[in-house]
Amino acid sequence: MKGKARTYILIILAGVLLGLGTAVGVGTLYEKTSTNEACMSCHYHTDADNAWKQSYHYLNGSGVSTDCAACHLPPKGTPAHFWAKTKVGIKDLWSYIWKDKEDIDWNMKKELEYASKIVYNESCKECHTNLYPEGVSDDAITAHLYYEENESKLDLQCISCHLDAGHYNPNYSHSKMAGLPVSKSGAKDMFLEPAKIESFANFKETIPMTAVSIDMVAVPGGSFVIGSPEDEPMRNSDEGPTKLVEISPFFMSEIEVTWDQYWAFYGETMSEGRTPPSKIYANNSRKDLDAVSGPTPPFGNPDQGWGMGSRPAITMTHYAAEIFCKWLSLKTGKTYRLPTEAEWEYAARGGSQEPYFFGGDPKKYSSEGFLRSIFPADTSTISSYAVYKENSRNRTGEPGSVKANPFGLKNMYGNVMEYCSDWYSETAYSLITDGEKDPKGPSEGTEHVVRGGTYADDAALLRSAARSHTRHDAWLRTDPQNPKSIWWYSDVKSIGFRVVCEVPENLK
């Protein structure tokens, strides 16, 4: 009996020792795999390590250095921490074994949309317990008060405003922009007169006292069916009922308004005040340029570090786009404006009634669906005409990267969403009568129509009939100013516009 008891005791002791040894081993392994060295053994992109060593989390006055796991995992000791570590470990190990480093889009991983999925706000607050330390600026106090009041309601994260805190990015800034981007043009390059329109044909608009011009395309008038038939693949309910409408001739800019063009407007009209839109143009009879109060400085780099020049200008509000058109009208003596939704779709179709002006089935072009990982979408045709999800590398593209549609217009699909003048309504087309000429949409609303899809959109959202709308409050979610800007959006990088010029009376 005593022998059996000793055996049981030895087995129990052995079990305890084995358990303790396993616990110590697992604990040691757990700690070792949470070190920066362990992280970098899989995340072997050297820029990540270099950028971290240049960031506030490595170089700061306190001398405290924050490691990878402190930001990229929930706080230690929580169930969420262990679960996240397990998921991330499996995913990273899989990528390390099976993925080619050269195929990984590292630039995309720097964007807020991706970073917000792998940085945990709870971990930020674990260290940053005081948001109002001594010496903090008044602007920071305003922004942090707004954050505390709206964190849950608006799903705000610390990195929404501090994206470069963990990995330094020289192209990122969340402070008010000072001055203007450097221009390569000089006084000798300036235009003195606007273009003269002598016939209904393509022309180059030259903007007086600037070095920029806009290529305008003559879009012939005609009739077309607005919207999409009920059997069109990937169709949405707000694309109908279809109606036959007539469109008068107009001129439309060949490409979306560029940064060069927008900075010319900004440089002449920029203002420090935030006067409400209703007061800026209270006196509509004024025709001089002094009537144009332009944008206040944006926060950060509005081009997102992607480049300026001929890339589409982005992040401006609908109101700002309208004021650009007013400025352009006053500068040139012509009538410039945003296109109506009907004009936009007519121009995008280029004479076609198919889902795309170049033909083809949206289902074949779309990358959505369970089987797309096995049978990739057909990108051979659509990639020639659109900057979109499959070829954009998550950023805007140069206008020369795509071919024009039958009317001679580029980037009508993808690149950036484009503002229309119409108020958005899901049932807008039910208000149109068959045969109506130049419909202008509902007389009132809360959001405006945007068309064309974006660089991050699937092919289904690039169809000629696809509609969307502004999301004003959501697009201003992290604007740190009080009151919020009427000129720049803080939370959308894929909105821009192109302009329409009305045909002069003498040519009608």
414 dihedral zone (left: phi>0; alpha: psi -120 to 50; beta): left
β-bridge mates for residue 253, sequence order: 216
Range of 14-18, 186-190, 281-285, 449-453 with top mean pLDDT:
449-453
Please name which of 273, 254, 107, 261 lies closest in space to residue 181, comparing C-alpha atoms: 261
Give me the chain's average pLDDT, please: 87
Distance CA 312, CA 494 (A): 9
The answer on pLDDT for 282 being more than 50 is no
pLDDT in tens, 462-480: 999 999 999 999 999 888 7
| Burial class of residue 319 in the structure, from the number of CB atoms within 10 Å of its CB (0-12 exposed, 13-18 middle, 19+ buried) | middle
Determine the pLDDT at residue 278: 47
pLDDT more than 90, % of the chain: 49
The answer on pLDDT for 265 being more than 90 is yes
The answer on pLDDT for 224 being more than 90 is yes
Strand positions, DSSP E, 332-470: 336-337, 417-423, 436-437, 448-451, 467-469
Residue 41 three-state SS = helix
Average pLDDT over residues 384-410: 94
Determine the pLDDT at residue 37: 81
Distance CA 502, CA 481 (A): 37
Question: Cβ distance 331 to 277 under 8 Å?
Answer: no
β-bridge mates for residue 336, sequence order: 501
Average pLDDT over residues 320-336: 96
CA-CA distances (angstroms) from residue 178 to 175, 181, 267, 396? 9, 9, 12, 24
Ranges 211-225, 283-297, 314-328, 406-420: which has the least confidence? 283-297
Helices (H) and strands (E) in the chain, counts: 14, 12
β-bridge mates for residue 468, sequence order: 450
Average pLDDT over residues 246-257: 98
Distance CA 349, CA 105 (A): 33
Question: Between 7 and 83, whose confidence is greater?
Answer: 83
Q: How confident is the model at residue 450 (pLDDT cuts 50, 70, 90)?
A: very high
pLDDT in tens, 173-201: 777 787 777 766 666 789 999 999 999 99
The answer on pLDDT for 286 being more than 50 is no
The answer on pLDDT for 42 being more than 80 is no
Range of 162-176, 288-302, 368-382, 412-426 with top mean pLDDT:
412-426
Average pLDDT over residues 441-450: 96
Question: Between 499 and 183, whose confidence is greater?
Answer: 499
Average pLDDT over residues 287-310: 78
Question: Cβ distance 431 to 226 under 8 Å?
Answer: no
Distance CA 92, CA 16 (A): 34
pLDDT in tens, 95-116: 777 777 777 777 777 888 888 8
The answer on pLDDT for 262 being more than 50 is yes
Question: Between 211 and 106, whose confidence is greater?
Answer: 211
- Going by the DSSP 8-state scheme, the letter that residue 311 receives in this structure is S
The residue whose two tokens read 């820029």 is: 47
Average pLDDT over residues 239-247: 98
Average pLDDT over residues 63-90: 85
Please name which of 220, 137, 225 lies closest in space to residue 434, comparing C-alpha atoms: 225
Distance CA 141, CA 139 (A): 5
Question: Between 90 and 371, whose confidence is greater?
Answer: 90
Determine the pLDDT at residue 186: 60
CA 376 to chain centre: 25
pLDDT in tens, 8-30: 666 666 666 666 656 555 556 66
Determine the pLDDT at residue 308: 92
pLDDT in tens, 426-445: 999 999 999 999 999 999 99
Determine the pLDDT at residue 279: 46
pLDDT more than 70, % of the chain: 88
